[in-house]
Chains A and B, each alone.
Chain A
Amino acid sequence: TEWNVSVWGKRRAFTEHVEKLAELVSEKTGGEFTMNVSYGGLSKNRENLDGISIGAFEMAQFCAGYHRDKNPTITVLELPFLGVNTLEEEVAVSHAVYAHPAAQADLARWNAKLLMTSPMPQYNIVGTGEPRDTLAKMDGMRVRATGGIGNAFKAVGAVPTSVTATEAYQAMESGVVDTVAFAQHAHLSFRTIDQAEWWTANLNPGTVNCPVVVNVDAYEALSDDHRAALDSSVDEAIAHYLENYGALLKKWDGVLEEKGVQKVMIDEAELAKFREIAADPIREQWIADMSAQGLPAQELYDLVMDTLKKQRM
């Protein structure tokens, strides 16, 4: 069996678990079940779910925020200020939501089965000029942030501005935006860190959720051995991802120092105010909207909170 896997960009920390999974599955089946990982050759990233639904390829990665209407249930994981602090916690909450019947039914509309997540750290912002370390200073700030995080910044008077990730560097250079919200690896690969004078270390406004899914028919057509090889490799692939990303995060402080980027800590009181203004109303709005569509929104949100609590015990 050969599977085609559609991801995008270049090979990076964000795709290491997919590469690892391919390696493990091939090893365990003696080369009988292989995965051919394609970086953008098979589909546009925002259409990976379409490709899965058609059956053009068997496995794919995408982010929930690329298309909220395609996958409303898992956007719960992109709500601002969920309070997720580590990649391990991100894995735990993601997999808990993926296991919920509502999320599974949501993705089943695309003939997709949620396999694993691609845990991303919190989207902290880089910027130029004086650090925006209070809510007052964020008023009028032009920030490149999408989805729930964008809404959070809007709630405190900032101006979310549409710029694609690849254009972010130039947008910052040209002053189209003055701050950009990304995870660390993206600040590195889209070079926004080269423009930056400061980086917020503890704003932690939220992150995006990017699952890896498989086509249900292809999954069910696997022989029992092959399916077992795939299922049993997920945890190991995630562990590899965490280790790899962890090394990157360790390097991060060194990168900041080397590039002369100031590490900005925001006062706990300011953060509390931010959460109050942004997190609560956006969450309530989300729950109301999703419930109106007949989705168990409150239940999904509670599931995230409970999982987080359990994870910390």
Chain B
Amino acid sequence: MEPIEIGLIVSGVMVLFVVLGMRVAFAAGMAGLLGLIWIFWAKKGYDPEDFGWALTVAVKTAGQVPHSKVSSQALSLIPTFILIGYLAYYAGLTKALFEASKKWVGWLPGGLAVSTVFATAGFAAVSGASVATSAVFARIAIPEMLKIGYDKRFAAGVVAAGGTLASLIPPSAILVIYAIIVEQDVGKLLLAGFIPGAFSALIYGLLIVTLAMTLPKFGPPVRGFTWGERFRALPPAMPIFFVVFIIIFFIYNPFGGDAWGTPTEGGALGAFVVFLMAVWKGMRWRQFRDALLETAKLAVMIFTIIWGVLIYVRFLGFADLPGAFSDFITGLDQSPMLTLVMILLAYAVLGMFMDAIGMLLLTLPVVYPAVMALNGGEFVSAADSTFGMSGPMCAIWFGILVVKMAEFCLITPPIGLNCFVVAGVRDDLSVQDVFKGVTPFFIADAITIALLVAFPAIVLWLPSLA
């Protein structure tokens, strides 16, 4: 049997076990190990005497992967980004952001909803995880919107959609994961997320204003704040900007001088500032311990998927499946742009049923080389490329597109984690309500993704400066 056929069969077994409810990390690891045993045994012509050898070699090869892949400095960004998010609650940053945002843009049509979107965008700058962002704002923003007469479903939808901004605007755990799988510069990817993230927030805002102006009985604007009140609302939210500055300056110095360090150091320093604030605001050991445990749980969950999937990827390397798939994609007799759009649509469908990290980890090892090949290879120059951008720039562009798709999937039924969480926080909302309320934002996201595909400069301008 050809290695590629083994690859397809083993991948099928993995999907079967995932559907059966096996934890994704272990299903991927198991499929990888099975595949390795098969490949090594096939090499010896399936001689029964050699099965023991094949099993030993496969187990030892797979057994290297967890330690080998996890001991990476770049991966240390993931737990620090998660920790920042948890500590930010104790530092009182969430409430401060919402208050400031309300006072500054509340006067717009649909003002409180717009404020919520901008506050989530601000919180995204300290939070690396979407679900956590939605969970916090469901408690702060929804009651206020209900108080002044917003439809409860729409209020919930705003929060669920706003949460997705956390994974584009740095820090972002999922962008780090992408950078590591595809071996690209983490700093540039994080930098690339800024504008598309802000851009998404803006599109959300425009959508809300449009809806508020066309639909009757939409919640009224909140007016009547004095300039004094507006400016007094800023200082409590300031630490957010401080953290944003630290992280930006550690990736790239906008004023043309040296950056201050590496993204890893920037993330850690940002977390440290938020930690000091939380202590100052009264965080004690009990709460700190809980934050550490929650961080550990989320980090361990992510790392387990990472090494589980990488065992499977190690097997793919021996089966050379990524090479075969990329030959297939580049051999398609259709426009490369159409192929890219089809790949993105496939992510939309897959994302309906999977969570973002698992989906990226499982698919990127095969899909990413294919997309790069489509553009003309990893080292192609902009002039010779299909999409008009160099290899490294294409890697960044595709990364932002894929992460935006993955975020889109957090608000689509049937499995939209952000919607579940929002419904969970509010007793008066069912999951169906939230899905209904979030529907208008599908349009906003579709527009955003279309614009990012059509105008790659939105993504690439900032990283091309660095």
Q: Which residues of A contact B (CB under 8 A)?
A: 2, 4, 10, 36, 38, 40-44, 46-47, 50-51, 54-56, 164, 166-167, 170-171, 173-176
Q: CB within 8 A of A176: which of B57, B261, B317?
A: B261
In the docked arrangement, what's the CA distance between A298 and B61, Å?
37
Q: Is the interface of B mostly helix, strand, loop or mixed?
A: helix
In the docked arrangement, what's the CA distance between A164 and B72, Å?
10
A164-B73 contact in complex given A44-B68, A170-B262, C-beta closer than 8 Å: yes
In the docked arrangement, what's the CA distance between A39 and B287, Å?
47
A175-B258 contact in complex given A10-B379, A51-B61, C-beta closer than 8 Å: yes
Whether A174 lies near B68 (C-beta < 8 A) is no
Contacts of A54 in B (CB 8 A): 57, 60-61
In the docked arrangement, what's the CA distance between A257 and B434, Å?
62
> With an 8 A cutoff between CB atoms, is B461 at the interface?
no
Give chain B nearest CB distance to A70 CB in angstroms: 14
Whether A174 lies near B262 (C-beta < 8 A) is yes
Q: CB within 8 A of A10: which of B43, B68, B378?
A: B378
Question: 3 closest A-B pairs (Cβ-Cβ)?
Answer: A41-B317, A174-B259, A175-B258
Whether B73 lies near A170 (C-beta < 8 A) is no
A56-B61 contact in complex given A170-B262, A174-B260, A176-B262, C-beta closer than 8 Å: yes
> With an 8 A cutoff between CB atoms, is B239 at the interface?
no
Contacts of A167 in B (CB 8 A): 262
Whether A42 lies near B318 (C-beta < 8 A) is yes
In the docked arrangement, what's the CA distance between A278 and B262, Å?
30
> With an 8 A cutoff between CB atoms, is B250 at the interface?
yes
Whether A166 lies near B183 (C-beta < 8 A) is yes
Give chain A nearest CB distance to B186 CB in angstroms: 9
Give the interface size class of chain B. Answer: 20 to 34
Q: CB within 8 A of B57: which of A10, A36, A55, A164?
A: A55
Give chain A nearest CB distance to B2 CB in angstroms: 13
| Apart from A36-B320, A41-B320, A175-B259, 12 more pairs, CB < 8 Å | A38-B317, A41-B316, A42-B314, A44-B69, A47-B68, A54-B57, A55-B57, A56-B40, A56-B60, A170-B185, A173-B259, A174-B260
Q: What are 14 A-B residue pairs whose CB atoms fall within 8 Å in the complex?
A: A4-B318, A36-B320, A40-B317, A42-B317, A44-B68, A50-B64, A54-B57, A55-B53, A56-B40, A164-B73, A175-B258, A175-B259, A176-B261, A176-B262
In the docked arrangement, what's the CA distance between A171 and B185, Å?
12
Give chain A nearest CB distance to B375 CB in angstroms: 16
Q: Which residue of B lies closest to A53 (CB)?
A: B60
Whether A41 lies near B379 (C-beta < 8 A) is no
Contacts of A42 in B (CB 8 A): 314, 317-318
Contacts of B378 in A (CB 8 A): 10
Q: Which residue of A lies closest to B466 (CB)?
A: A173
Residue in A2, A10, A171, A174 whose Cβ sees the most chain B Cβ within 10 Å: A174
Contacts of A174 in B (CB 8 A): 250, 258-262
B residues 180-194 near A (Cβ < 8 Å) are 183, 185, 187
Q: CB within 8 A of A41: which of B73, B259, B318?
A: B318
Q: Which residues of B contact A (CB under 8 A)?
A: 40, 43, 53, 57, 60-61, 64, 68-69, 73, 183, 185, 187, 250, 258-262, 314, 316-318, 320, 322, 378-379
Give chain A nearest CB distance to B171 CB in angstroms: 17
In the docked arrangement, what's the CA distance between A167 and B317, Å?
25
Give chain A nearest CB distance to B66 CB in angstroms: 12
In the docked arrangement, what's the CA distance between A42 and B61, Å?
9
Contacts of A44 in B (CB 8 A): 68-69
Contacts of B40 in A (CB 8 A): 56
In the docked arrangement, what's the CA distance between A145 and B68, Å?
23
Q: Which residue of B lies closest to A38 (CB)?
A: B317
Contacts of B60 in A (CB 8 A): 54, 56
Q: CB within 8 A of B258: which of A47, A51, A173?
A: A173
In the docked arrangement, what's the CA distance between A167 and B183, Å?
11
Contacts of B68 in A (CB 8 A): 44, 46-47
Residue in A4, A46, A170, A171 whose Cβ sees the most chain B Cβ within 10 Å: A170
In the docked arrangement, what's the CA distance between A173 and B260, Å?
9
Contacts of B187 in A (CB 8 A): 170
In the docked arrangement, what's the CA distance between A51 and B36, Å?
13
Contacts of B320 in A (CB 8 A): 36, 41
Q: Which residue of A lies closest to B263 (CB)?
A: A170
Contacts of A10 in B (CB 8 A): 378-379
Residue in B60, B250, B260, B316 whose Cβ sees the most chain A Cβ within 10 Å: B60
Contacts of A4 in B (CB 8 A): 318
In the docked arrangement, what's the CA distance between A2 and B44, Å?
11
Give chain B nearest CB distance to A121 CB in angstroms: 23
Give chain A nearest CB distance to B84 CB in angstroms: 21
Contacts of B260 in A (CB 8 A): 174-175
In the docked arrangement, what's the CA distance between A274 and B339, Å?
59
In the docked arrangement, what's the CA distance between A41 and B39, Å?
14
In the docked arrangement, what's the CA distance between A55 and B314, Å?
15
Q: Which residue of B lies closest to A174 (CB)?
A: B259
Contacts of A46 in B (CB 8 A): 68
Give chain B nearest CB distance to A172 CB in angstroms: 9
Q: Which residue of A lies closest to B379 (CB)?
A: A10
In the docked arrangement, what's the CA distance between A147 and B451, Å?
49
In the docked arrangement, what's the CA distance between A171 and B258, Å?
10
Contacts of B379 in A (CB 8 A): 10
Q: Which residue of A lies closest to B317 (CB)?
A: A41
Contacts of A47 in B (CB 8 A): 64, 68
In the docked arrangement, what's the CA distance between A47 and B63, Å?
12
In the docked arrangement, what's the CA distance between A166 and B185, Å?
8
Give chain A nearest CB distance to B200 CB in angstroms: 27
Contacts of A55 in B (CB 8 A): 53, 57
In the docked arrangement, what's the CA distance between A46 and B72, Å?
12
Q: Which residue of A lies closest to B323 (CB)?
A: A41
Contacts of A176 in B (CB 8 A): 261-262
